[in-house]
Structure 1
Amino acid sequence: MSGNDGFIASVKKNSVIHVLLAFLFMTSGLIVNALQALTMILWFSGKKDLYRTLNIRLAYLHWALIPFLLEWWADVKVNLYATPEDAKKLNKESAVVVMNHKYDIDWAIGWVTADRCGILGNAKCMAKSALSYVPVIGWAWRFCEYIFVTRNLERDVKTILKALRNLAQFKHHYWMLIFCEGTRFTEEKHKLSMEFAAKKGLKPLKHHLLPRTGGFRMVVKGVRDSAAALYDATIYVKGNRSPTLIDLLCGKSCEADFLFMRVPIEKIPDDDKECSDFVYDLYERKDKYFDFCRNNDRFPVESEDEIQDLKGYELIDYPRRTECLWIAISWAVLILTPLFYYVYTLIVSGAWVKITVMGLILSAVSYLFQKIVAQGAVSTSSSSYGMVKKSD
């Protein structure tokens, strides 16, 4: 490592820099929330298309900071694998995106991919109802018409189906992101999940939790008239690493492979039993590919591989976008310049009490930032296996 690289790495690990990044994220989010609140005038006046268009743009002004953090700050490399034919459709149709939930940051890698496809501002998901009241992320999701659930499927049926039918009114393409596993993978949850699979006579999975099919069936039923396809998305971080949000803040890089497999929506069965079997088969395939990755550090996309399912899949050239970089720079100039000036005037005037209070406020903002992003941005109504009643 050169001296210059060492200096940059030390800057990225500096806790003061992390506090400033948190302040930038939180403050820009509140500004966007305020602008989104003003657009409600359009909603109540019946101009819903304009309302949605503006909120897609406004949401992206804030959410772009996540791809910036990964791709420009931490220099995370995301490799997108798909067939050339499917790749051409990624930003030209609405779709349900089913992702595996192995890592703390797989949601963020999903956002990077959505950003590269130009659809991040209109990416949707289901989230816990309590998150709708969380400032910055939760408020933005509410303005963007995310689906909020209570984790009780019977109680949430009407809410979910109404929200999904509402998507058919969108004139912009959307991605509905879902984690069928319901919660992030841990060894304890995996053990409980496989015990449940054994009781049901289902094939055990090595690297994933058993998918919960009830929510998937409902989502597909609700979007059949508006979505063109299902994207079976599997993420693998090379080197069998498990990066965290803190790693990204510290500028620690990693490389992730992102496999997109497109299934036309009409090929997903209508029958509940057949649809459930479809999801189980989908996760068995995910598990097979992920197991290959664990042993070979890549997906089986080469002609000599024993697994031939991915014939025709190749690395797609989807470069990182500069828009998120310029948005981050613009927010930094807008927000941090007056902050630095204010702190400078306090130092010059010797107002040490105010400086101390300012430091405490920034530390609190940093703490809230880590809590909000870590808990909110996973974008799922997660729960623990064995802790709640299953409805599948």
Structure 2
Amino acid sequence: MGWKSSTFVHLLYFLSILLGGFFINIIQALLFFTLKQINKDLYHKINYYLTYGVQTLLVFLVDWWCKVELRLHMDDETNKEFGRKHALITLNHTYEVDMFTGWLVAERTGILGATKGVTKKSLAYLPTIGWTWRCSDYIVVNRNFDKDKEVIQKTCNILGDYPFPTWMAVFPEGTRFTATKHAASMEFAQKSGIPTLKRHLIPRTRGFVQLVQSLKGKYPVLYDYTISYNKKEGAEPRFYDILCGKPMICEIYIRQFNFEDLPDDDEGISEWLQQLFREKDELLDSYINTGSFTAENTHPAHPVFVPERRPYSLLNTGAWAIVMLYLLVVGAATMIKSGVIGVVVLILGTALAFYGLQVMISLTRVDKASQYGISSHKNSSHKNK
């Protein structure tokens, strides 16, 4: 591991994200208020590469820094057209790096710049990545369904008109899995007469129902990812471990569903999602127990595809890191030469950068996750159906 665990290297990477992200954000903002008002298709095509530029700064961590080995379990028919059409993606959210590995699938499939998602409003204010989401038709929710319903409908109408395939990724559990949240979720399930799950939280259906109804007729398929990690051969799926370059092995069982086969009504879609998660629970439980998704259930075993690593996240991140390193050296030399005030500014700037790095690490930790899954299940007014 060695130098990959160096705080200076981590700071250089963090500042490179900010530098590259801010630069791209400025271009996105200019195009958002000008070109998008004139030619939306051209804006979407250009913004694809701008979004890709920001997201590869983060995907670099799992793609090249810790060199995640990605094993996709899916049938030949699914693999044949994977990434070639609009798709809704459902993922389980068990570990703090699930978003990164979901992006990694998109990167190695060649569709990362066209990957969308659902994010809470507070995250959409984050510098670089949050601002990119706001310019790229991510669904930004307030966790107030009356408001979110209109946002979902409006955004899905826009996505259906994109001139190239897009993926809309969603975590139906609504938050990351923790033991406390799982206990609250299972208590809610028992009171509501819903079958309990061992490895997942009860999925939150209202937003998903609206998403499916809004995308029907626009998106042809839904891909379900059941994500797990081989912790016997690879590192723990923690953000700090990948920041230190520890290699991980990620395995994903992927199933394809045709949108036209999904129910149309609220209750039907809700029950379909509940059944999907019961099946995901079987797959994940089997993997955790045996190292195989299908050893302890009747789901079919699929061929394993290992998509090739592409050079773009390495080139993009490397270029910004070189620019950032040059600016740091020149800036530090200038401040030191300027005297005491310059040295004080340098120290304060370094401390601020270090604090920002710690905030980024903290945001990914499971033990720092939001209380959303706990409070909402305890709320008697919560509606899961």
Q: TM-score, normalised by structure 2?
A: 0.91
Q: Is 2:154 the counterpart of 1:162?
A: yes
User: Alignment partner for residue 357 of structure 1, among 321, 337, 345?
Assistant: 345
Report the equivalent of 2:356: 368
Counterparts of 1:382 and 1:114, CA distance in 2: 29
Q: What is the count of residue pairs matched by the alignment?
A: 377
Give, in whole Å, the separation in 2 of the partners of 1:125 and 1:293. Answer: 26
- For residues 1-392 of structure 1, the aligned pairs below 5 Å read 9-43=1-35, 45-239=37-231, 242-300=236-294, 305=295, 307-311=297-301, 313-347=302-336, 349=337, 351=339, 353-372=341-360, 375=363, 383-387=372-376, 388=379, 389-392=381-384
Give the Cα separation in 1 of the matches to 2:57 and 2:237. Answer: 18
Q: Identify which range, 351-360 or 69-78, moves more after superposition.
A: 351-360
- What is residue 4 of structure 1 aligned with on the other side? none
Structure 1 counterpart of 2:342, one-letter code: K
Distance 2:261 2:15 in 1: 46
1:100, 1:208 within 8 Å by CA — same for their partners in 2? Answer: yes
Residue 375 of structure 1 deviates from its aligned partner by 4.0
SS in 1 for 2:64: helix
Deviation per CA, 1:21-44: give whole Å up to 9, x if none.
Answer: 111111111111011112124445
C-alpha deviations, 1:74-99, integer Å up to 9, x for none? 22222111112101222101111000
AA of the residue aligned to 1:152: N
Q: Could you tell me how far apart the structure 2 residues matched to 1:189 and 1:238 are?
A: 24
Distance 2:225 2:371 in 1: 18
Tell me, yes or no, if the aligned pair for 2:221 and 2:257 is still in contact at 8 Å.
Answer: yes
Output one character per residue of 1:5-57: Cα deviation in whole Å (capped at 9) or x when no partner: xxxx2211111111111111111111110111121244454211111111110
Does the 8 Å CA contact 1:292/1:299 hold for their aligned counterparts? Answer: yes
- The 1:376/1:57 distance shift into structure 2, 3 A limit, reads farther
Partner of 1:6: none
Q: Counterparts of 2:292 and 2:358 in 1: how far apart (Å)?
A: 31
Structure 2 counterpart of 1:279, which letter? L
Q: Deviations over 1:140-196 (max 9, x none)?
A: 111112111110112321121111111111112111111110110011110110111
Q: Is the 8 A contact 2:238 2:365 kept in 1?
A: no
Give SS of 1:181's match.
coil
Query: Following the alignment from structure 2 to structure 1, what is the Cα–Cα distance between the partners of residues 132 and 365?
Result: 12
Partners of 1:66 and 1:112 within 8 A in 2? no
C-alpha distance in 1, partners of 2:112/2:343? Answer: 38
Deviates more, 1:118-127 or 1:282-291: 118-127
What TM-score do you get using the length of structure 1 for normalisation? 0.90
| Per-residue CA distance 1:238-290 (angstroms, 9 max, x = gap) | 12774222111111222110121111111111122121111111001111011
Identity of aligned residues (%): 33
CA gap 1:154/1:189 in 2 versus in 1, 3 angstroms: same
Looking at structure 1, the residues matched to 284 and 293 of structure 2 have their Cα atoms a distance apart, in angstroms, of: 8
